[in-house]
Structure 1
Amino acid sequence: MRRYVEGDENTLQCEIRRYSTGGIVMRWPGLGAQEHDSWFTCALHHSQERFVITTFLRHTPAGGDSTQWIHVGDRDLLSTSAVMAVLTTTPVVHAGLLKDKTLHCQFFVDHKQANVTVQWWFQRRGERTKLFTHSSRTGHSEGKGVSIRGLSNAGNASLKLPPITQASEGTYTCSVLVPPLYASQDNILSIMEPPRVSVNVGPSLALTLGSEQKVSCDAQGYYPLDVTIEWLREPLDSSFIPEVLKNILFSSHRHHQDGTFSLSAFFLLQPSLDDSGYKYTCRVQHQALLTPVRKSFTLTVTEQDSTLWYISVFGFIIFMIGILVWLIPQLIAAKRNSARKMY
């Protein structure tokens, strides 16, 4: 068993149970087996879901009824042989959409030319579907995704899945039958697609006092649905705790044809001079992300340039004077023409 187990005792969970052959009485083909053997299973689970291995332990008692459980006292020492093991290193799988994925399943038997039947089943929303079956006794196979050569040479019953879609999410069960022993391992596949995060402004934003800017943060293409978007206002000095903005509006969740979702969070930025030099950060959290995604910009706020204001006013006055200079002669000429017509 140690050949296939990784981790120390603090990461392993071990469970030993009696195993019933369901009334089937037969001699195990391995060395030293008897019709009246007693059976146990030893299941080792890694606490971080790195693998699950189930090993069959055979004990040959001195006589007794093979149909009855042998009595095991608290201090009894049983000598057993590990004769078969079924292992998966993918008990829990997270996969992205349209990605290729292989679910691991491998078995080991203590004798050659074993009579092995391997099956893969898929269960989703209460419906169970057979994906693959192979019998070494007949050589007959149904389904696809498992290498027959790998089965024969190394007991490798791993299943290669087609590109992942939403319909791929569910429980895949690999079962191995070597009479009278039967074991199965579950591989739970869930889709995890991280969001693509963007904001509608660059890394720096300059505004004049009295102006405003709509700022939006978009999280796109994520799965499953739950996502958290926050806008933070934080000084450049990282020793201060950032402020979570409250005046944030959210769009509705948008559902795309590929099954993913999108969401936007936006607000209207009407800065004061005190806001200048602050960093505004969009922080997005999703279960497909190991750490939140952060997109930031630094705000600069300036007062309106009084020089430009004076130039504008002065230009307006000059323009009005020019109009008056042009209009006054026209009015005088018109008045003279009117007087001549009267005489």
Structure 2
Amino acid sequence: MSFNLIIILNLLHCAAVPGLRAIQQLSWLPCRLVDEHVSLNSEGHAETQYEHREALLQFGHQGDTALNPNTITFLNTGSKVDMRKYIDGALVDQLECEIHRYSTQGIQMRWPGLGAQEHDTWFTCTLRHADGLFVITSFLRHTPATPTPGQADFRNWAPISDRETLITSTVMLVLTRTPVVRVGLLKHQNLHCQFAVDHKAADLTVEWRLQRRSERLTLFHHASRTGQTVGSGVALRGLKGSEGDASLTLPVTKTTSEGTYVCTVSVPPLFGSHDIILHVMESPRVSLNIDSTLSLVDGGEQKVVCLADNYFPLDVDMEWFREPSDGGLLPEKLDNVLYSSHRHHQDGTYSLSAFFLLHATLQDSGYKYFCRVSHSSLRMPVRKSFALTVTEFGSWNSLLWLVLVSGFILVMVIILRVTLPRLTLGRRANQKPY
């Protein structure tokens, strides 16, 4: 039976039973083995070539038959650590499975778990959720029937045939449910990092680092063997036992909180880590300097300003458009728009203005003008608009405005004619004779 037919039959069976398609109920996963071939070039430097090979991760017991004998099978047998336990209802088509060889970087020691041997070889199996919900890295231990001469590392890998079945067990995993984080300013953020080991690790080291630009800062370090702890943000009670929570709680976020946070968990000779990318994003507050309606007379002018305030990061896109009120035509982008320089505030956010001088004509009456602001923190651009009404100078509105202004001037003239003589008489009365 071909491998593709096995997949189809398995998916049909899962679809027929409610809830069975969840990955915890399946006994296999299609994977990709990324094999490495290292050689020395003419200058004596090591060069690595990567070969992508079809593989199957099969869950079962030692002695089980490979579901597909025509492909590489990693038969994952019983262990206290089961990667499927940490996949919350994910479906097969939502997962990306990748297996790599793992080098202990010269550390030769026997894993303290049951059945381990000094000549064991290692693999990592990484499961990524297609929507970025989690990343799980599991360490697979394999005991070869024939030990590889010398040290089993990237210069001396044992070859794997296209139909080989490798018996493995999961001895440790490290996972994060926050591989990419987007957070606003002045927030408290938790960066998730969890681990599991098949025994109570007496030599456990947990560390958090922040990498940004050329900086590399150690935020937290704990070694269970010495009991030494440097830094804060991780609850020490969560690091005890074979299953631990090494999540980091950040202080109030600032623009300087951006960067790559690296959670590392090591139990010699294994070293697992996950990069968590933190983006600080603050949405712009968009406003206009006028109300939702603007009335002008023919030939009048008005400066119209669109302000995007207190956003982060810097990149923002601001445009002005106009369109008929009936929406019959596509919006027309205005080309007479000017921009202010970016203003940098003390909290690290920015502001920008886009403005133009509106020359009102009767043909413009009834048009709607809108400012559109796009920013990486926004799912959809923000629009702020106003409707323009233009009247003739001799219209009733203009005439009423002229009457009001003329009336005001007339009243002021009358007041001055009445009060000025009285002020003059009072001044004369106060004058002293000599």
The reply to whether TM is greater than 0.5 is yes
2:137 pairs, out of 54, 75, 84, with 54
Q: Please say which of residues 13-22 and 65-74 is displaced more in the overlay.
A: 65-74
Measure the CA separation in 2 of the matches of 1:306 and 1:229: 36
Q: Please say which of residues 218-227 and 135-144 is displaced more in the overlay.
A: 135-144
- Secondary structure class of the residue paired with 1:80: strand
Measure the CA separation in 1 of the matches of 2:209 and 2:180: 16
User: Cα deviations across residues 95-131 of structure 1 (Å, max 9, x unaligned)?
Assistant: 2222221111111112234531101111222221211
Measure the CA separation in 2 of the matches of 1:47 and 1:91: 12
The TM-score, its normalising length taken from structure 1, stands at 0.85
Q: How does 1:9-158 map to 2 (within 5 A)?
A: 9-65=92-148, 67-68=151-152, 69-152=157-240, 154-158=243-247
- Secondary structure class of the residue paired with 1:188: strand
Q: CA deviation at 1:132?
A: 0.7
Measure the CA separation in 1 of the matches of 2:123 and 2:201: 23
- Secondary structure class of the residue paired with 2:165: coil
Higher relative contact order (CA 8 A, sep 6+): 1
Identity of paired residues, percent?
59
Matched, 1:262 2:344: no
- Structure 2: runs of 5+ lacking an equivalent: 1-82, 411-434
1:210 pairs, out of 288, 299, 302, with 299
Q: CA deviation at 1:306?
A: 4.7
Measure the CA separation in 1 of the matches of 2:128 and 2:107: 28
Q: Which amino acid aligns with 1:39?
A: W
Measure the CA separation in 1 of the matches of 2:222 and 2:279: 26
Measure the CA separation in 2 of the matches of 1:215 and 1:299: 12
Measure the CA separation in 2 of the matches of 1:18 and 1:309: 87
User: Cα deviations across residues 142-188 of structure 1 (Å, max 9, x unaligned)?
Assistant: 11000111222641111111112232222211111111111111112
Measure the CA separation in 2 of the matches of 1:112 and 1:158: 19
Highest CA radius of gyration, 1 or 2?
A: 1
- Secondary structure class of the residue paired with 1:32: coil
Q: CA deviation at 1:293?
A: 0.5
1:188 pairs, out of 251, 259, 277, with 277
2:370 pairs, out of 281, 284, 298, with 281
- Secondary structure class of the residue paired with 2:85: helix
Q: CA deviation at 1:47?
A: 3.8
Q: How many residues align?
A: 315
RMSD (Å), alpha carbons: 2.3
Aligned position for 1:161 = 250
The TM-score, its normalising length taken from structure 2, stands at 0.68
> Structure 1 runs of 4+ off > 4 angstroms?
305-312
Q: Please say which of residues 128-137 and 256-265 is displaced more in the overlay.
A: 128-137
Matched, 1:175 2:175: no
